[in-house]
Amino acid sequence: MDFVSGFVETIDYFLIAPYRWSGNPVIGWWTGTTILAVWAALLGKLTIALVFRVNRSHIKETVGEMAQRHSQSMNALKAGDRTAYKAINKLANEAFGKSFFLQVAMASASLWPIPCALAWLQIRFSSIRFSLPFDIPLIGNSVGYSFIFIPIYILARILLGKIKIRKAHNP
Amino acid sequence: MHYLLAKNLYGGNRIKRNLKWFVCLMVFVGIVASPLFMAAPASADKLSKAIEQGINDGKIDKKAEPGFLGIPGAPKVNYILGFLWAIWVGWIFSTVGAFGGIMAGVGHITIFGLGDYAKDFGKGYPMNKLVTDSIRVSNQWLVGLSGLISSTNYYRMGRLVAPLGMCLAIGGVGGSWLIPDLTAGKISLKAYIGYFGIAVLVLGIILLRETTKGGQAKRKKAKEAATAFEKESKKGGETTQGVKVLQGSWTLMFIALAVVVASALWANLAGEAKWVAYILALIGWGLTFFVGTIRFTFFGVEFKFKAFIPMLGGIFIAALASFLGVGGGFLYVPFLTSVAGLPMFLVAGTSGLVVLVGMIVSIFSYMVGKGVPVQWGFIGAELVGIFIGSMIGPRTSKYIPDIWLKRLFVVLAFYVGIRYITKGFLGFSIVPPF
């Protein structure tokens, strides 16, 4: 058994429980998927917070270098020194590249639970289709599990963000 | 004329709002709609049809244990290996940057054994096409994510040159559906590997130039110039001035963009009368020639460009990026700095926006239009590996000088490039393992 399959099967019991709470399959589906989305959003937030904490000084350093090179290049441009501007702008781009890809790599910390949740849903619900009240050309009148999960996940992320902002305003 | 100028001068907020909605819509389409359709019958049908054909032709053993994408007998993707490879990718992302995307591609093609598996089916075989396209889409998911982060950050900072991004996107959106349409299923993994190798080798040559004596001297000179202008900066103290657009026909740009997006949607969803999509794309591109010159200021300095130039650049770059399944970022940046002569902060945000739009349309084209499936669990393991690598990178990079990191990647780029080019076009690798 591979790593991810082993992992998802271990937590399967924990994830499926909310789907069975109500005894009604439709209510169970919505409750379970909502809780799954909240877990995915929470886990992502926690991991990204951890990564930012660990990399704090390095981020500060790379962002600082990027901003410094930028203002130097703009000064050269304003002074009319086109050659210096081009040379410094290249350094600024390099600094940006470093800072940007560092942040891209770090951002995967907040998104990793989504494909894991989708992989679990695929194992559990891939054979089930959810009816739509209307017909979409080429798609038909039913959709898969990801149609429900992803919008709920986005909502959960927005709500979690709001809670954080509220806390910041009302300590 | 005065009215138009005034509208452009004072209509910034409206345009910014429109752009915000446009970006939101594209993100929605990419994040919500693509996976929504992914579970639709199209992908299941395509996969099951390819499996069925493989079984009928005796190329797939029905009773074999399911592997990649659930295909019987396909290599079982080794998640631990994928995870370790992703740590390496994350380490590269956090130390030298862009080369990480290339390494992610190398992982998908070689390390996980998918390349050889697809090749075994032979040129033009449905399963070969399906696995090749699935590898491309897996790469694009990782690249699209980087574009999303970049454009969101720079939009917040007011460092996006919206008209420039839009003109690039007008070219890019058309390019990124046209190329998958013209090549998906028509290009075998073997040729794809060859072209991927060429891209890697070109990158290696660029990196090599930077590590030569001449390159180093240039860099030193640039640093000296930077120090001279650092003093100026302290005297001036001007730090915050965003983009102000002075001239450019927004209406025409929005119409042109809407027309090329419509062409992409028609091509992906209508299925029939493909010529309509081609005509729409041509109309969108043609309209850009009437937009004229776009002028804007940034930090009090004026910049201007003809709208059709970034549009043409966008077509070429998105076509190449979408074809290789890698981000166009590494091509947009030199285009915007060298051809358009833009400062870094504008290049960063603007290229991020174009990469995002291009990748969304490309992922949409493959997953919805062509019904190409991806393996979610695998992408999940990769993301975990990448962020762990991103924590290791900063801790190790301070012990390795920049020049040596670059040299390491020059060697890697040459090795990967030569290996893929010879494997793709000659059928065997001239560097080990053969």
pLDDT tens per residue across span A89-143: 888 877 877 777 777 777 778 888 888 888 888 878 877 777 777 666 555 667 7
- Across the interface, of A77, A93, A122, the residue whose CB is closest to B333 is A93
Q: E-assigned strands of B32-169?
A: none
- Across the interface, of A95, A112, A118, the residue whose CB is closest to B384 is A112
- Of residues A27 and A164, which shows the higher confidence score? A27
Question: pTM above the 0.95 mark?
Answer: no
The domain tally of chain A equals 1
* Chain A residues lying within 8 Å of B66, measured CB to CB: none
**Is A2 a domain residue?**
no
What is the strand order of the sheet B301-306 is part of? B243-247, B293-298, B301-306
Query: Which residue segment(s) compose the domain that A145 sits in?
Result: 29-169
pLDDT confidence of residue B240: 47
A 104-123 residues with CB < 8 A to B: 104-109, 111-116, 118-119, 122
Contact A54/B at CB under 8 A: yes
**Is B232 a domain residue?**
no
pLDDT confidence of residue A39: 93
CA of A39 to nearest chain B CA: how many angstroms apart?
15
Contact A147/B at CB under 8 A: yes
**Is B309 a domain residue?**
yes
- Of residues A21 and B351, which shows the higher confidence score? A21
Q: Cβ–Cβ of B146/A101 closer than 8 Å?
A: yes
- Across the interface, of B40, B100, B377, the residue whose CB is closest to A115 is B377
Contact partners, residue B210, CB within 8 Å, separation at least 6: B216, B219, B406
pLDDT confidence of residue B180: 66
**Is B184 a domain residue?**
yes
What average pLDDT score do residues A25-31 get? 88
**Is A24 a domain residue?**
no
pLDDT confidence of residue B269: 65
pLDDT confidence of residue B3: 33
**Is A12 a domain residue?**
no
CA of B407 to nearest chain A CA: how many angstroms apart?
16
**Is B291 a domain residue?**
yes
What single-letter amino acid sits at B104? Answer: A
**Is A110 a domain residue?**
yes
- Across the interface, of A54, A74, A147, the residue whose CB is closest to B391 is A54
Q: Cβ–Cβ of A77/B376 closer than 8 Å?
A: no
Contact partners, residue B153, CB within 8 Å, separation at least 6: A103, B349, B352
pLDDT confidence of residue A166: 58
Confidence of residue A42 (pLDDT cuts 50, 70, 90): very high
* Chain B residues lying within 8 Å of A54, measured CB to CB: 391
Contact A87/B at CB under 8 A: yes
**Is B222 a domain residue?**
no
* Chain A residues lying within 8 Å of B347, measured CB to CB: 93, 96
* Chain A residues lying within 8 Å of B39, measured CB to CB: 126, 143-147
* Chain A residues lying within 8 Å of B379, measured CB to CB: 115
Could you tell me the mean pLDDT of each successive run of 10 residues in chain B, 434 residues long?
32 47 49 41 61 82 79 78 83 71 73 71 74 74 66 65 82 77 67 80 82 80 75 49 72 87 76 82 90 81 83 82 63 72 71 71 67 74 82 77 79 86 84 71
| DSSP reduced 3-state for B51 | helix
- Of residues A46 and B272, which shows the higher confidence score? A46
* Chain A residues lying within 8 Å of B383, measured CB to CB: 108-109, 111-112, 115
- Of residues A71 and B176, which shows the higher confidence score? A71
Taking CA atoms, what residue in B is nearest to A97? B97
* Chain A residues lying within 8 Å of B48, measured CB to CB: none
The domain tally of chain B equals 1
User: Average pLDDT, whole number, for chain A?
Assistant: 80
Helices (H) and strands (E) in chain A, counts: 5, 2
The closest of B308, B293, B290 to B245, measured between CA atoms, is B293
Residue A45 has pLDDT above 80, yes or no: yes
Q: Cβ–Cβ of B376/A5 closer than 8 Å?
A: no
**Is A151 a domain residue?**
yes
pLDDT confidence of residue B32: 43
- Across the interface, of B80, B226, B299, the residue whose CB is closest to A69 is B226
A159: its two tokens: 């709500």
Condensed to tens digits (0 to 9), the pLDDT of residues B321-366 reads 766 656 566 677 767 776 777 776 677 667 777 777 766 776 776 6
**Is A56 a domain residue?**
yes
Residue A19 has pLDDT above 60, yes or no: yes
**Is B48 a domain residue?**
no
Contact A100/B at CB under 8 A: yes
Q: What is the DSSP string of chain A?
A: --HHHHHHHHHHHHHHHHHHSSS-HHHHHHHHHHHHHHHHHHHHHHHHHHHHHHHHHHHHHHHHHHHHHHHHHHHHHHTT-HHHHHHHHHHHHHHHHHHHHHHHHHHHHHHTHHHHHHHHHHHHHTT--EEEEEEETTTEEEE-HHHHHHHHHHHHHHHHHHHHHHHHH--
pLDDT confidence of residue A36: 94
pLDDT confidence of residue A31: 92
Phi-psi region of B122 (alpha: psi -120 to 50; beta: other; left: phi over 0): left
**Is B133 a domain residue?**
yes
Query: Which residue segment(s) compose the domain that B132 sits in?
Result: 77-217+241-425
